[in-house]
Structure 1
Amino acid sequence: MKKISLYCVLFLLIPGLQVFSQTSRPDALQRYRAGRDLENQGRMEEANRYYNEAVRICLDEINQDATNMDSYTVLTWALQRQQKYAEVLEWGQRGLRVNSSDYRIIETMGEASFYLNDFAQSLKYMQRYVDSVPQGDRVSVAYFFIGEIYRLQRKYHHADIAYTTAVRLEPNSALWWYRLGTVRESLEDYQPAADAYERAVRLNPNYREAADGLARSRRQLG
C-alpha cells in the first residue's frame, strides 16, 4: 500500500504529466485567437496558418459530434477572418439547424451577408442579434453594421440612430465616429456632425477624411 501511495504522490508531483493529459487535445479557440493576434500585427500569412488549423480542428470535432455548437462558432469565426464568407454562411446555417438560438453564429452570419452585399439578410441577422442579446459581446459591432446598411440605403435618420448607439457602447473607434459624422452631415445637422468628426480626429489625429468633414461642417456653421 505504501508503495502504491508513494507512486501516486510522485505521479502528481512530476511536472507535465497532468498538464499533458489535459492539454493534449487540440484547442481550436486557442488557434483562432493566436491567428487573430497575428492578424492584428499585420502578419496575415502566419495568421492564416493558425486559422487553417482552427478550421481543421473544428471540422474534425463536428465530424465526431455534429451537435457541438462551439465547433460551429469557432469555425465560422476563423472562416470570417479569412474572408470566406460563403463558407461562413454554409456552416453557420448547419449550426443553426442544430441550435437556432446560437446568437454568436447569427451575428457572424450577419457580417458575412454584409460583405456579400446581401444587405437585407444582413440586417435581419443583426436585428435578431441585438433584439435577442442586448448585452451581447458584439452588440456594438452589430449596431455599426446596421448603421452601415442604412447609410448605404440612404436612410440617414436610421443610420444616425444605429451609429449613435454603436459609439455609445464603444466610444473608441475613430471610424465609427467618422461614419456618424457623414450621416449627420448628409442630414444637414452640422453641429452634431462637427461633434462626431471632432471625436474621430481626437481619436486619430491623422484621419484626413474626418478632418475634412470637420472643416466642412464648421464652414456651414459660419
Structure 2
Amino acid sequence: MNKKNCFAFIIFFVFVSAVFSQASRPDALKLYREGKYKDAVAVCEAEISNNPNNMDSYAVLCWSLVGNKQYKEAELRAIEARKINSYDIRLIEVLGEAKFYLGKNNEALDMFQRYVANSSETAARLGTAYYYMGEIYVRQTKYEHADISFSAAVKYEPIYSAHWWTRLGYAREMCGDFKNAVTAYDRALGLNSQNYDAVRGKKRCQERL
C-alpha cells in the first residue's frame, strides 16, 4: 500500500470510528422523549462534564429535571446555564417552568413573557409557555388574562391536550362568558369524552345560559 492509499485508509478508519462512536452514544433527547428522565439527566451530566458550554445538553438536562419533578435542581441548573448564554430561549422557557412549579409566579411569568417575545411563531414550546402563563393568571384570579393566554396556547397546539381546552373553558366561565366557555369545554370533550372537569364545567355553564 502506497502512502497515498495508506493516508486515505486512515482517514476512512477515523471517520467510521467516529460514526460508530456517535451511534453507540446514548441520546439524551430520545431518553427524555421516552420519559426516561433519570437516564437523560445522567447522559446530559456526562456531556456537560466533557463540554461545559454544551447548551443543548443543558436544555435537555433541565427539561428532564422538570419532567422528574426536581424543580429546584432544574431552576439552579438553568440559572447556571444562562450564565454561559443568557439568550438561549430554551433555557428561558424551562426556567419559567421550574419557577412555576416552585410557586414563584411573577418570576415564572417574566420568563414566559421573555420566551414569547423572543420566539418565532413556530417555536417548539410556544403553546406550552402560553399555557403556563394562563395557569399563573388563574392563580392570580386574573381570568381575562388567563382566557387570552389559554386561547393562544390552544391556537398554537389545538389538539395537544383536552386539559388545555378545559382550562380555557374554566377561565371563560370565571369571566361569566358562559357561551364561549361551553365551546371550549366541547372542544375538550371532543378530545377526551371522559374528561370529568369538562363535563362538570359544561353542565355548570349550560345552567347559566
Report if TM-score (shorter chain) is over 0.5: yes
Residue 47 of structure 2 corresponds to residue 61 of structure 1: yes
Aligned twin of 1:113: 99
**5+ residue gaps, structure 1:** 40-46
Query: Could you tell me which of 167, 191, 196 is aligned with 1:203?
Result: 191
Aligned twin of 1:20: 20
Deviation (angstroms), 1:182: 0.8
Quick one: structure 1 residues 23 and 124, their matched pair in 2 at CA, closer, same or farther if it must change by over 3 Å? same
Could you tell me how far apart the structure 1 residues matched to 2:100 and 2:19 are?
42
Deviation (angstroms), 1:90: 0.8
Could you tell me how far apart the structure 2 residues matched to 1:193 and 1:207 are?
15
Deviation (angstroms), 1:207: 1.1
Mapping 1:1-222, distance limit 5 Å = 1=1, 19-33=19-33, 37=34, 39=35, 47=36, 51-135=37-121, 136-172=123-159, 173-221=161-209
Deviation (angstroms), 1:156: 0.7
> What amino acid maps onto 2:89 in structure 1?
Y
Deviation (angstroms), 1:134: 3.5
Aligned partner of residue 98 in structure 1, secondary structure: coil
**Per-residue displacement from partner, 1:11-69 (whole Å, max 9, x unpaired)?**
x7xxx867524424443323333xxx2x4xxxxxxx3xxx3332223222222322111
Could you tell me how far apart the structure 2 residues matched to 1:190 and 1:84 are?
38
Cα RMSD (Å) of the superposition?
Answer: 2.5
**Per-residue displacement from partner, 1:144-163 (whole Å, max 9, x unpaired)?**
00000001110011111001
Could you tell me how far apart the structure 2 residues matched to 1:105 and 1:216 are?
40
Could you tell me how far apart the structure 2 residues matched to 1:18 and 1:141 are?
37
Could you tell me how far apart the structure 2 residues matched to 1:107 and 1:139 are?
9
**5+ residue gaps, structure 2:** none
**How many aligned positions are there?**
204
> What amino acid maps onto 1:187 in structure 2?
C
Question: Identity over the aligned pairs, expressed in percent?
Answer: 43
Could you tell me how far apart the structure 2 residues matched to 1:190 and 1:52 are?
43
Q: Which moved more, 1:60-69 or 1:174-183?
A: 60-69
Quick one: structure 1 residues 18 and 134, their matched pair in 2 at CA, closer, same or farther if it must change by over 3 Å? closer
Could you tell me how far apart the structure 2 residues matched to 1:179 and 1:29 are?
29
The TM-score normalised by the length of structure 1 is 0.82
Quick one: structure 1 residues 152 and 71, their matched pair in 2 at CA, closer, same or farther if it must change by over 3 Å? same
Runs of 4+ in 1 over 4 A off after TM superposition: 16-19
Aligned partner of residue 55 in structure 1, secondary structure: helix
